[in-house]
Amino acid sequence: MPTTLITGASSGLGAEMARQLADRGWDLALAARRTERLEELRDEILARHPGRRVELRALDVTDDDQVFEVFRAFRDDFGTIDRVIINAGLGKGAPLGTGRFDANRQTAMTNFVAALAQAEAAMEIFRAQQRGHLVMISSVTAMRGMRKTITTYAATKAGVASLAEGVRHEMLGEPDLDIRVSTIYPGYIRSEMNERVKKTLFIVDTVPGVRTMVDAIEKEKANALVPAWPWVPLGMALRHLPLSLVRKII
């Protein structure tokens, strides 16, 4: 069976991606800080799919050494890792200059620096195997600079999208390596990260929203705004409209 490694898999989008990929025949390497949640998820998946293999490890993605240790250990468990989904993230933040540098720094370290470590660890495995599928979970907020509490969050998501594109660019010049790179830009999908948000335009429930993510991942799309409606046209608009109009959309 092919194997997908998912970080930040204990809840929200990561947990639902694990469920849906298991439904599609994937074995799973699941990592997160909250191992008790991972164990519950594993038991749920195995109850539905007794033949599936699900391995778990505790992982704080901001611990660089642990990232490499956990990725290598999963590789040793399965022999190969076919896909890595860099999903772990944080939505904490505050407007710049308002005394919450700590919150913005934590988001930057978790969403970008830790994603860099995960990408390094994944690519180390893929280069040795000469194949693999690297998936970076970005956000529609990466389309433009954002304001208030999501300024730093959006900047980190733009950063990981650029990081993924850089790897994709490099792989075009490596004919002996079958390493594909996908950047997924989810729109507003209900998850634990935004559960306190009561009214958000265009938000969709977790299961159908994640299904659009998994569809794009399985098709190995280079870039995908999901759900396609309304985020494909809105993404184009966000990239090109004046900021005064962007403020009214997002």
Angle between helices 151-171 and 114-129 (to 10 degrees): 20
Name the catalytic one among 74, 153, 185, 188: 153
| CA pair distance 71, 84, nearest whole angstrom | 9
Which amino acid is present at 36?
A: E
What contacts 42, CB < 8 A, 6 or more positions away? 30, 54, 56
Does residue 185 have an active-site annotation?
no
How many helices (DSSP H) and strands (DSSP E) are in the chain? 9, 7
Upper half-sphere CA count for residue 69 (Cβ side, 13 Å): 10
| CA pair distance 20, 130, nearest whole angstrom | 27
CA-based nearest residue to 40, from 17, 2, 11, 74: 11
What contacts 91, CB < 8 A, 6 or more positions away? 107, 150, 153, 193, 194
| CA pair distance 160, 32, nearest whole angstrom | 19
> What residues act catalytically?
153
